[in-house]
Amino acid sequence: MTLTKALMATSALTLAGSTAIADGHMADEMTIVSWGGAYSASQQAAYHDPYSENTGVTIINDESSNEAVAKLRAMNEAGNITWDVVDVVASDAIRLCDEGLALEIDADEQLAPGDDGSSASDDFGDLLVSDCFIPQIVYSTTAGYRTDMVGDTPPTSICAMFDLEAYPGMRSLEKRPINNMEWALLCDGVAKEDVYDVLETEEGQAQAFAKLDTIKDSVVWWSAGADTPQLLADGEVVMGTTYNGRLFSLIEEQDQPVAMLWDAQVFDLDGWIIPAGLSPEREARALDYIYFATDTQRLADQAKYISYGPARASSAPLVGQHATLGIDMAPHMPTDPANATNTFLYNYEWWADYRDDLDAKFQSWLAQ
């Protein structure tokens, strides 16, 4: 592939100059990439501001997390990495690690031990799903419904999503197969532990699509996390799925007639990665930031601003009240025992394999 190599080398050379300049003037700056909105605001308050105060480093926010993998790959090919720390969901972290685009982290060496004396790897436990991933929060994709549009029997199960008779009206679901296929099977009588085995077969996929077919005409498909809260607030849909933090702010901060339907919520993780190939000084600074921002107290602090559960076990007892509303945050966490009676854990490895295939089928199904 000499031609490609030549092409890449040329672009790398062109960019080498700018890298040198960039490295020079960024001595006291670092670029942190995240999702924007209320989420970035919570990170700003809980991590960035105290870190800047302690170290004098200026933090530049970039809201590109939703296309972080594509952009990091492009930066890597161009040989010019402009990001220092990137906030991504776990599945993206696994992909970045797979592609060699993220730095591998030794949790016990490079992360703070827990406040309760436990080692970092014990404190994070199973949430360290990839060698490159430093977990930050546990969030869930779950459903909410309009309390004034469901009559006297509010839904208690995710299967209400598929029950047009009891709950007529539009519903909003994410425009991708992930989660929707699992819920369809669960509500079609497949046992929770068998879902992925069934979904692996052609018949199982057909079964899930057949279940989704029953509500297809009543679904608004969303692609941005803000869509469902908007649709619920406007009364466009009677129920819909989104990230639990979005529903929290809709219900508690904006006081809309909406309630949570925690049933069969799908847990997912969000956290940090450090891009591979940073200069040693920038890498050291990024690691220093990560060490600070993922310690027990900092993770608990973030929960003051947004209802996502801290990823460290040792942070849970420290979760307090909302910074402005003054309400207890613990009952709004997806991990709260009352909310987590029936949960689902996003199966990263399975979806890494079947994502391309099922997505093609899902898109074809949508277009029919």
Partner 1 sequence: MAEQVLAADGTPLKASLNRALRRQKMRALVLILPLLLFILATFIYPIGQMLFRSVENGIVSETIPRTVVALDDWDTQENDLPPATVFDALAKDLAVAVELKEHTRLGSRLNYELSGISSLFRKTGRRVDDIGEIYTDQLVALDPAWEDPATWVTLMADPDWIAAQAAWDGEGDEPAFVVSATAIDMLPQTADIYADFARVIQSGDNDSPTEEEPWHIVSLALYQDLIASPSVDIPGPLAGLVSTAAAAAPSFETEDVIATFTDVDDDWQNPEVWETIYTYSPAYTNGYFLNAIDLQKTTDGIEWQPENEQVYLTLFLRTMIMSMTITISCILLGYPVAWMLANLPARKANLLMILVLLPFWTSLLVRTSAWKVLLQNQGVINDLLVWVGFIADDNRLALINNATGTVIAMTHILLPFMILPLYSVMQTIPISYLRAAKSLGATNWTAFWRVYFPQSVPGIGAGSILVFILSIGYYITPEIVGGTKGVFISNRIAYHISSSLNWGLAAALGAILLAIVLALYWAYDRIVGIDNVKLGG
Residue at 176: amino acid letter:
R
The per-residue DSSP string of 186-212 comes to: HTTT--GGGHHHHHTSHHHHHHHHHHH
Tokens of 275: 């891009």
Q: Is 367 in the site for partner 1 (CB under 8 A)?
A: yes
Residue 248 C-beta: closest distance to partner 1, Å: 23
Residue 170 C-beta: closest distance to partner 1, Å: 7
CB 230 within 8 A of CB 242: no
Binding-site member from 236, 283, 288, 336 for partner 1 (CB under 8 A): 236
- Give the angle subtended at the CA of 245 by the CAs of 240 and 251, to the nearest 5°: 70
Tokens of 318: 């420290």
Nearer to partner 1, 236 or 336 (CB): 236
Name the pairing type of β-strands 171-174 and 258-273. Answer: unpaired
Residue 167 C-beta: closest distance to partner 1, Å: 16
Q: CA 84, CA 68: separation in Å to the nearest integer?
A: 12
Residue 221 C-beta: closest distance to partner 1, Å: 6
Taking residues 194 to 233 in sequence order and writing x for each that binds partner 1 by CB under 8 A, - otherwise, the string is ---------------x----------xx-x----------
Bridge partners, 89 (sequence order): 270
Among the residue ranges 94-102, 249-257, 295-303, 333-341, the one whose residues contact partner 1 (CB under 8 A): 94-102
Tokens of 273: 């990665």
- Residues in contact with partner 1, counted by CB under 8 A, come to a total of 40
Residue 360 C-beta: closest distance to partner 1, Å: 5
Binding-site member from 16, 284, 327, 352 for partner 1 (CB under 8 A): 352
User: In the block, which residue shows the tokens 């909105």?
Assistant: 37
Residue 100 C-beta: closest distance to partner 1, Å: 4
Binding-site member from 99, 106, 194, 253 for partner 1 (CB under 8 A): 99
Q: Nearest CA to 260 among 334, 325, 185? A: 334
Residue 266 burial (10 A CB sphere; 0-12, 13-18, 19+) = buried
Binding-site member from 113, 225, 235, 257 for partner 1 (CB under 8 A): 235
Binding-site member from 46, 69, 195, 299 for partner 1 (CB under 8 A): 69
Residue at 229: amino acid letter:
P
Binding-site member from 41, 214, 249, 361 for partner 1 (CB under 8 A): 361
Q: Is 304 in the site for partner 1 (CB under 8 A)?
A: no
Q: For 340, which DSSP code? A: -
CB 278 within 8 A of CB 81: yes
CB 344 within 8 A of CB 267: yes
Tokens of 329: 């945050």
Beta-strand runs (E) in the chain: 29-33, 58-62, 85-89, 134-146, 171-174, 219-222, 239-243, 258-273, 309-310, 343-345
Binding-site member from 19, 52, 66, 110 for partner 1 (CB under 8 A): 66
Q: CA 274, CA 144: separation in Å to the nearest integer?
A: 34
Residue 350 C-beta: closest distance to partner 1, Å: 8
Residue 323 C-beta: closest distance to partner 1, Å: 29
Q: Is 17 in the site for partner 1 (CB under 8 A)?
A: no
Q: Is 354 in the site for partner 1 (CB under 8 A)?
A: yes
Q: Is 9 in the site for partner 1 (CB under 8 A)?
A: no
Taking residues 141 to 180 in sequence order and writing x for each that binds partner 1 by CB under 8 A, - otherwise, the string is -----------------------------x----x-----
Q: Residues in the site for partner 1, rule: CB under 8 A?
A: 1, 3-4, 7, 11, 66-67, 69-70, 73, 95, 97-100, 170, 175, 209, 220-221, 223, 234-236, 349, 352-361, 363-367
